[in-house]
C-alpha cells in the first residue's frame, strides 16, 4: 500500500498508564481463537487474571516499528472514514459521524465491558469506538497466515463497517432478531459480519481508485478474510467443522462478500440479509 502517516485526530491512545495484568501469549491466543469462533461476547470481561482497566495518559514506550504501525492504522482510519463520510449520505441516505479508534495493550475498559487483547479488534456500539491491541497483527500473520499491510487494513475497515451498520441501525435490528428468536442468533450474526466484510471491500474499491493499493494488496485482503473464516478456525482448533455454530461466516463467504464490495464500490451491493449470506 502507498500511504502517509494519518492525522491521529480520532485516535485515543491508552497504551501508557497502569494497564492490566498480562494473560500471557498462550491465554491471548486461546481467547483470540474463541472470540473469532464464537463471536465477541466480551460483556463484563472474560475472566482470568485481570486487575485495573487501562487508562489514557503518560508517555508511551514503543519501538520504531510500533510507531510506524500506529501511523499506518491512523492512515487507514482517516481513509476509511473519509470514504464513508461521502458514501453514507449519498448512497444510503444516512448521516455520518466519525468513530474513534482506541489503541491499548492487554486490556482496557470499554462501553461494552472489559476488552482484552485476545478478543482481537472489535467495535463497541455503546461508545462508537474501535478497539485494537496492535499485537493482534503479529497473530494475524503468524497464527492465521495472513501477513501484509492490506490484510491489516482489511481488519480495521471491517470494524469500521460495524460503525456504518450502527449508524444505519442494522446492528440494533439484528439484536432484536436474536432476542426474538434465539435459534436465529448465530445466522443473524453471520449476516452482520459478512456485511461488514463487504463494507471493508467497498473501502478497498475507493482506496484502489485513489492509488493507495499496489500489486498483491487485493490478495492480502482476500487471504485475511479467508483466514478468519469460522470453518478454517474450527478445523484448526477443533479438528472438525460445525456450520451451525458459525458466527462470522466461512472462509468462502467472507472472501466472497469482501470481493463483492471491492469490485462494485457500492454499499447497496452489501445486502447480505436479503441474500441470506
This prediction has a pTM of: 0.86
Residues 138-173 pLDDT 10s: 989 988 889 999 999 999 999 999 999 999 999 999
Mean pLDDT of the chain: 87
Q: DSSP character for 89?
A: I
Provide the residue ranges of all domains of the chain, joining segments of one domain with +: 11-271
Is 256 in a helix, a strand, or coil? helix
pLDDT at 217 over 80: yes
Residue 31 has pLDDT above 80, yes or no: no
The C-alpha cell at 116 is 482484552
Question: Residue 258 to residues 113, 189, 193: CA-CA distances in angstroms?
Answer: 29, 16, 11
Q: What is the pLDDT of residue 231?
A: 86
**Taking a C-beta distance cutoff of 8 angstroms, is the pair 184, 170 a contact?**
no
Whole-Å CA distances, 43 to 39, 99, 109, 110, 207? 11, 20, 10, 9, 34
CA–CA–CA angle 130, 131, 132 (5° rounding): 125
Amino acid at each position: 500500500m502507498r500511504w502517509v502517516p494519518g492525522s491521529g485526530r480520532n485516535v485515543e491512545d491508552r497504551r501508557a498508564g497502569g494497564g492490566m495484568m498480562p494473560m500471557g501469549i498462550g491465554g491471548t491466543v486461546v481467547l483470540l481463537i474463541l472470540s473469532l469462533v464464537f463471536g465477541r461476547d466480551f460483556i463484563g470481561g472474560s475472566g482470568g487474571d485481570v486487575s485495573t482497566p487501562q487508562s489514557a495518559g503518560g508517555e508511551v514506550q514503543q519501538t520504531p516499528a510500533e510507531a510506524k504501525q500506529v501511523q499506518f492504522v491512523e492512515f487507514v482510519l482517516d481513509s476509511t472514514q473519509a470514504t464513508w463520510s461521502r458514501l453514507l449520505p449519498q448512497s444510503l441516505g444516512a448521516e455520518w459521524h466519525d468513530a474513534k479508534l482506541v489503541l491499548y495493550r492487554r486490556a482496557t475498559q470499554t462501553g461494552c465491558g472489559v476488552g482484552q487483547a485476545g478478543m482481537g479488534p472489535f467495535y463497541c456500539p455503546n461508545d462508537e469506538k474501535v478497539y485494537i491491541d496492535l499485537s493482534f497483527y503479529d497473530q494475524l500473520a503468524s497464527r492465521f497466515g495472513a501477513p501484509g499491510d492490506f490484510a491489516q487494513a482489511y481488519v480495521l475497515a471491517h470494524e469500521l463497517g460495524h460503525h456504518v451498520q450502527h449508524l444505519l441501525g442494522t446492528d440494533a435490528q439484528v439484536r432484536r432478531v436474536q432476542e426474538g428468536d434465539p435459534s436465529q442468533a448465530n445466522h443473524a450474526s453471520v449476516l452482520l459480519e459478512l456485511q461488514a466484510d463487504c463494507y471493508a471491500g467497498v473501502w478497498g474499491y475507493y482506496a484502489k481508485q485513489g492509488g493507495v493499493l499496489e500489486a498483491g494488496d487485493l490478495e492480502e485482503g482476500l487471504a485475511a478474510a479467508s483466514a478468519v473464516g469460522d470453518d478454517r478456525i474450527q478445523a484448526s482448533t477443533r479438528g472438525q467443522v460445525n456450520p451451525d455454530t458459525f458466527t462470522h461466516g466461512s472462509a468462502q463467504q467472507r472472501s466472497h462478500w469482501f470481493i463483492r464490495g471491492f469490485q462494485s464500490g457500492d454499499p447497496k451491493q452489501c445486502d447480505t440479509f436479503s441474500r441470506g449470506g
